[in-house]
Amino acid sequence: KIAVLRERATGESRVSASPETVKKFIALGATVAVETGAGITASISDEEYRAAGAEVADNAVQGADIVLGVQGPEPELLAGANPGAWIVAGLDPFGRRARVDAYAAAGFEALAMEFMPRITRAQSMDILSSQSNLAGYKAVLVAANLYGRAFPMMMTAAGTVSAAKCFVMGVGVAGLQAIATARRLGAQVSATDVRSATKEQIQSLGAKPIFVESVAGIEGEGAGGYATEMSEEYQKAQAELVSAHIAKQDIVITTALIPGRAAPRLISDAQIATMKPGSVIYDLAVAQGGNVEGSVPDQVVEKHGVKIVGYSNTPAHLPADASALFARNLYNFLSAFWDKEQGKPVLDEEIGNAIRLTQGGKVVNERLLG
Active-site residue numbers? Answer: 118, 123, 126, 129, 226
SS3 286: helix
Cα separation, 26 vs 33, in Å, equals 11
Distance CA 180, CA 178 (A): 5
Q: Which SS3 state, helix, strand or coil, does residue 291 take?
A: coil
Mapping DSSP to helix (H, G, I), strand (E, B) and coil, where does residue 29 land? coil
> How far, in Å, CA of 325 to CA of 194, rounded?
28
- Based on its alpha-carbon atoms, the radius of gyration of the chain, rounded to whole angstroms, reads 22
Residues 6 or more apart in contact with residue 202 via CB below 8 angstroms = 171, 179, 191, 193, 208, 209
d(C-alpha 251, C-alpha 110), whole Å: 40
Residue 54 is which amino acid?
A
* CA geometry: angle 284, 285, 291, nearest 5 deg: 105
Sequence letter at residue 271: Q
Task: Confirm if 331 and 21 have CB atoms less than 8 A apart.
Answer: yes
Strand partners, 310: 299
The residue length of the chain stands at 370
Of residues 126, 137, 227, the one with CA closest to residue 183: 137
Partners of 208 in beta bridges: 190
